[in-house]
Amino acid sequence: MNVIDIFLTMEYGPAPESDKNAQEFLDQHDRRFGLFINGEWTEGENHFPSLNPATGETLAQISEASTAQVEAAVAAAKSAYPSWSQLSGHERAKYLYALARQIQKHSRLFAVLETLDNGKPIRETRDIDIPLVARHFYHHAGWAQVMEQEFPNFESIGVIGQIVPWNFPLLMLSWKIAPALAMGNTLVLKPAEQTSLTALLFAEICQEIGLPKGVVNIITGHGSVGEALTLHPDVQKIAFTGSTEVGKKIRRNTAGSSKKLSLELGGKSPFIVFEDADLDSTVEGIVDAIWFNQGQVCCAGSRLLVQESIAEKFYVKIKNRIQKLVLGSPLDKGIDMGALVSEEQWNTVNGFVERAKAEGLEYWQVENCPTKGCYFPPTLFPYVSPASEIAQEEIFGPVLVGMTFRSHQEAIKLANNTRYGLAASLWTENINLALDVAPKIKAGTVWINTTNVFDAASGFGGYRESGFGREGGKEGLYEYIKPKSTKSSSGFTIHNKEVNLRSYIDRTPKMYIGGKQARPDSGYSIKVSNPAGQTVGEVGEGTRKDIRNAVEAAHAQSGWAGMTGHARAQVLYFIAENLSARAEEFEQRLVEASGYSGKDAKLEVEKSLERIFTYAAYADKFDGRVHSTTSRHVTLAMHEPVGILGVVCPKEYPLLGMISLVLPAIAMGNRVIVLPSETSPLSTTDFYQILDTSDVPGGTVNIITGDHKSLTTELAKHFDVDGIWYFSDKQNAETLEKLAADSMKRTWIESEYDWLQNPLQKEFLRKATEVKNIWIPYGA
Ligand code: NDP
């Protein structure tokens, strides 16, 4: 055998990481763990095994928390809250810093334990998961330190319930716990039943650093434990990562409870390869996108979209590359892929693959796959139709499906052809093309010529059914704080004395849809009276059909979102100009229809004008950020409009309330369907004449009058409405949030607000936007 032969036939030898320390850690606990409640360990009533999915061996027995134990954990967090939230930011920063230091000091133990419990390669836990965990605690120690300066009008929320999945057990824990503690909250966290061990080791670290008792509580168990946590009345916010199905259930369970909610759910993220991409790097990108963590990644690039002109050549490269992926013991430092998390997950993935094979779809699979343990071979279905089950459903395993496209427009359409919107990855050497396509993809994160990169300084989260809320970055911290009091201190006095009616009683304002006055589809009108009982006019009684027409009109007006902030500001200033010209008429309307004094009516119109100016000013000033992420990336946090918003106005302040809601929404590029004040709709309906004369493109603002309860229900059920701002009767909130779960609409519900002072003026802009993080690597 000569040197060349030896070189060509050379095999990598095994490079096993020792699990001695991790096994000792388990032995020290007699392989049986309790619950961490109020800084102490409590035995669960029942136990269940935690398995090593690569070998099938039982690692330890984990406690199943009882209902009483869930309550005890919440009670501990509740009693720890007052003193923890009142610590200075600096004091909290020191605890977070200590946690980061301890995690670094025990990093190898954490990495090995995670690998044993989850089946993921040691290379990933050692080099990605655990360093990022430490980074999250360091980064958020900094946010604790500067909280008062950075969020002067905000405060902590209270007790937070946190539920994490099994795919990145400790990393997801850190994404949840670090920001919650930094902002002064206390918490109860439930890890996934399959992977509780690193969370329990983390609890020991909390003890070691002397974290005050009850600030962090870790309770283990099955889904029912998580459910009990979400239903507990003393939990003020739920932060959940997991499946869309469970996310929807939690949304329904918490509807109407005023609990804050953030949901990081599933995805079916596109990986788009344009014909000018550097194909060799792109192939490596695919390995990271779908075979990292065995494909059990919520933002895995699981849908490969390749430009037709290079598809054949590109598939050959992928085929060659996947045959070289090495599967084996997750503790071996030389392997690329370990085992899936459980037999159940293996069966789910296999089910998808078998059904696709039965459909007759062509596929390639890696041949060298261990047969013992939950190993699944990397799989590619290169030619799949967009409607096929494996192209639409999240598989959560190492299975890639491919499709081709011809034009850029087709690539965007295919990319957005999903109910999800978590992430996307674009590959092209043309920066103009990349930056043109990135904003058009409906996803919270877009990676350009890179994939699956994360950092504590950048937000992460979804659009559509991938959930709402962000984790990481400044944007993620808003999930763990609430505005300081915003309630109105003094309102106007509403008079119920009869007034001289100058308006014409027989004038029936119509609804306003697509820039045109529209009669209600029902053919019915409702009488509107003032507080003295005098009939002051009639408005149309809107129905489902009117909502549908308004949503259609809003949809057609996509140009509004594409206008520059400057151009939108011009239109908004024009609205102010036209309202100013008719100020007296609007004042008179408020006196006659709403029981205002002349002085109050004047003030409401003046404030309305001022508010329009404010949001016209912000139209080109509510900038995003460039995040300082650790790797060599420019990470652009861009503000994008949410899309189509339903805006349900308060009964009081009929003009000012409506303007305070509609103007920030349209300033940011949203289109709105407005339900004006239920009791005093006339000043709002007159407002469409102002819109008509102000160059507001038809469909940008649509106004439907009628019963709030039934119209809000229709808005909530409509799959093309992306969010609802609801400031009307609180009793409808529960139904609204339950219905909104079906399409994961963002909802914002407030029953009282200080409309005169508008203390949250920027909060309206934040709620009117989604943050999209675009990662662009640099380096020659
Ligand atoms: P789940 O959504 O069922 O579980 C996630 C977490 O929620 C776990 O801690 C789970 O507890 C808990 N949980 C389950 N039911 C409830 C409930 N009703 N109320 C509150 N908490 C609950 O995901 P699975 O682990 O079962 O995985 C199923 C599928 O979900 C995967 O195949 C994948 O498609 C997707 N998934 C997506 C993730 C993502 O990051 N987007 C992460 C993980 C899974 P327990 O584990 O004890 O049942």
| 115-161 pLDDT tens trace | 999 999 999 999 999 999 999 999 999 999 999 999 999 999 999 99
Asked if residue 140 lies in contact with residue 35, where contact means CB atoms within 8 angstroms, the answer is no
Residue that has been written with the tokens 């409640």 in this structure = 37
Classified as helix, coil or strand, 22 is helix
* 3-state helix vs strand vs coil in the chain, percent to 5: 45, 20, 35
pLDDT of residue 10: 80
Residue 641's pLDDT is: 98
Q: 3-state class of 549 per DSSP? A: helix
Q: Alpha-carbon distance 380 to 353, whole Å?
A: 10
Give the model's pLDDT for residue 678. 95
The predicted-structure confidence for 105-121, as pLDDT tens digits, reads as follows 999 999 999 999 999 99
Dist. CA 377–CA 403, nearest whole Å: 21
Cα separation, 386 vs 388, in Å, equals 6
Nearest CA to ligand 1 atom 16: 223
Distance 473 CA to ligand 1 centre (A): 24
pLDDT (0 to 100) of residue 65: 98
- The values of phi and psi at residue 36, to 5°, are -100, 100
Mean pLDDT across the stretch 245-261?
Answer: 97
Outline where DSSP puts E strands in 619-705. 625-627, 633-641, 644-648, 671-675, 701-703
Identify the residue whose C-alpha is closest to ligand 1 atom 34: 396
What 3-state DSSP class applies to 725?
Answer: strand
Which residue did the predictor score with more confidence, 4 or 581?
A: 581
Give yes or no for a contact between 187 and 214, defined as CB atoms under 8 angstroms apart.
no
Q: Which atom of ligand 1 is nearest to the CA of 267?
A: 41
Q: Atom 11 (ligand 1): residue with closest C-alpha? A: 223
At residue 592, the pLDDT reads: 92
How far is Cα 669 from Cα 19, in angstroms, rounded to an integer?
A: 54
Quickly count: other Cβ atoms within 10 Å of residue 61's Cβ. 17
Residues 6 or more apart whose CB falls under 8 angstroms from that of 702 comprise 511, 512, 513, 514, 550, 553, 554, 671, 672, 673, 674
Confidence of residue 441 (pLDDT cuts 50, 70, 90): very high
Question: What atom of ligand 1 comes closest to residue 264's alpha carbon?
Answer: 41
Residues with CB under 6 A from ligand 1: 163-167, 190, 192-193, 222-223, 226-227, 230, 241-243, 246, 249-250, 265-266, 298, 348, 394, 396
**Crossing angle for the helix pair 682-692 and 583-594, nearest 10 degrees?**
160
CA of 341 to the centre of ligand 1 (A): 12
Between the CA of 266 and the centroid of ligand 1 the distance, in Å, is 10
Name the residue with the closest Cα to ligand 1, atom 30.
243
pLDDT digits (tens, 9 = 90+) for 510-532: 899 999 999 999 999 999 999 99
**pLDDT attached to residue 62:** 98
Measured from the Cα of 194, ligand 1's closest atom is 46
Mean pLDDT of the chain: 96
**The predicted structure's pLDDT at residue 91:** 98
Nearest CA to ligand 1 atom 29: 243
Instruction: Determine the distance separating the centroid of ligand 1 and the alpha carbon of 61, expressed in angstroms.
Output: 20
Q: Considering only CA atoms, which of 674, 697, 665 is closest in space to residue 769?
A: 665
**Interval 401-421 mean pLDDT:** 98
What is the tally of helices (H) and strands (E) in the chain?
28, 31
Is the pLDDT score of 698 beyond 90?
Answer: yes
Residues in the chain: 780
The pLDDT confidence band at residue 204, using thresholds 50, 70 and 90, is very high
Contact between 755 and 488 under an 8 Å Cβ cutoff? The reply is yes
User: Which one of 51, 163, 261, 418 would you pick to mutate in the ligand 1 pocket, going by the greatest count of ligand atoms within 8 A of its CB?
Assistant: 163
Give the position, in ligand 1's atom list, of the atom nearest the Cα of 229. Answer: 20
Write the residue with the smallest CA distance to atom 17 of ligand 1.
227
Residue in 433, 169, 136, 425 with CA at minimum distance from that of residue 293 = 169
Separation of CA 243 and ligand 1 centre (Å): 5
Query: Rounded distance, CA 100 to CA 474, Å?
Result: 19
Integer Cα distance of 384 and 399 in angstroms: 12
Cα of 693 vs centre of ligand 1, distance in Å, is 52
Residues in Cβ contact with 358 at an 8 Å cutoff, skipping those fewer than 6 apart: none
* Average pLDDT estimate for 20-40: 98
Cα separation of 560 and 701, whole Å? 10
What pLDDT is stored for residue 12 in this prediction?
74
3-state SS of 251-318?
Answer: HHHCCCCCCEEEEECCCCCEEEECCCCCHHHHHHHHHHHHCHHHHCCCCCCCEEEEEHHHHHHHHHHH
| Alpha-carbon dihedral sign for residues 492, 586, 499, 752 | negative
In this prediction, residue 509 has a pLDDT band, given cuts at 50, 70 and 90, of confident
What residue owns the CA closest to ligand 1's atom 26? 243
Which residue owns the Cα nearest ligand 1 atom 42?
242
The predicted structure's pLDDT at residue 506 = 60
What pLDDT shows up at residue 504?
Answer: 56
Ligand 1 center to 75 CA (angstroms): 25
**Atom 8 in ligand 1: which residue has the minimum CA distance?**
192
Ligand 1 nearest atom to the CA of residue 266, by list position: 41
pLDDT tens, 472-503? 999 999 999 999 976 766 678 888 888 888 75
Catalytic (active-site) positions? 264, 298
DSSP 37-99: ETTEEE--SEEEEEE-TTT--EEEEEEEPPHHHHHHHHHHHHHHHHHHHHS-HHHHHHHHHHH
- Distance from residue 732's CA to the centre of ligand 1 (Å): 29
Give the HSE-up count for residue 174: Cα atoms under 13 Å, Cβ half-sphere. 30
| pLDDT for residue 166 | 98
Distance 116 CA to ligand 1 centre (A): 20
Residues with Cβ within 8 Å of 658's Cβ and at least 6 positions away in sequence, in order, are 647, 649, 674, 676, 677, 683, 684, 687
pLDDT of 2: 86
Residue % of the chain over a pLDDT of 90: 92
- Taking CA atoms only, the protein residue closest to ligand 1 atom 48 is 223
Rounded Cα distance between 294 and 481, Å, is 35
Higher pLDDT, 504 or 751: 751
The predicted structure's pLDDT at residue 1: 76
240 C-alpha to ligand 1 centroid (Å)? 9
Packing angle of the helix pair 733-740, 708-717 (nearest 10 deg): 10
Cβ neighbours, 10 Å, residue 739? 22
% of the chain beyond a pLDDT of 70: 99
Q: Do residues 680 and 594 touch, judged by C-beta distance below 8 A? A: yes
What atom in ligand 1 is closest to the CA of residue 348?
32
**DSSP one-letter string for 747-759:** EEE-S---TTT-T
Question: What is the average pLDDT across 311-324?
Answer: 95
Compare 196 and 631 and report the one with higher pLDDT. Answer: 196
pLDDT of 751 above 90: no
Task: Measure 247 CA to ligand 1 centroid, in angstroms.
Answer: 8
Query: Is 9's pLDDT higher than 90?
Result: no
Q: At what angle do helices 565-581 and 583-594 cross, to 10 degrees?
A: 70
Mutational pocket test of ligand 1: of 243, 268, 352, the residue with most ligand atoms within 8 Å of the beta carbon: 243
Q: Is the pLDDT of residue 505 over 70?
A: no
Cα–Cα distance for residue pair 25/245, rounded to 1 Å: 35
Ligand 1, atom 44: closest residue by C-alpha: 242
Work out the angle at residue 41's Cα, subtended by the Cα atoms of residues 39 and 47, and round it to the nearest 5 degrees.
140
- pLDDT at residue 11 in the model: 75
* pLDDT tens string 603-629: 999 999 999 999 999 999 999 999 999
Residue minimizing CA distance to atom 38 of ligand 1? 242
Which two tokens mark 709?
Answer: 């309860």
Residue 165 alpha carbon to ligand 1 centre in Å: 5
Q: How far is the CA of 103 from the centre of ligand 1 (A)?
A: 25
> Which of 246, 252, 262, 389 is the pocket-test mutation for ligand 1 (most atoms within 8 Å of CB)?
246
Cα 124 to ligand 1 centroid, rounded to whole Å: 22
Instruction: Report the nearest-CA residue for atom 25 of ligand 1.
Output: 165
- For ligand 1, atom 40: residue with the closest CA: 298
pLDDT digits (tens, 9 = 90+) for 532-557: 999 999 999 999 999 999 999 999 99
| Whole-angstrom distance, CA of residue 470 vs CA of residue 770 | 9
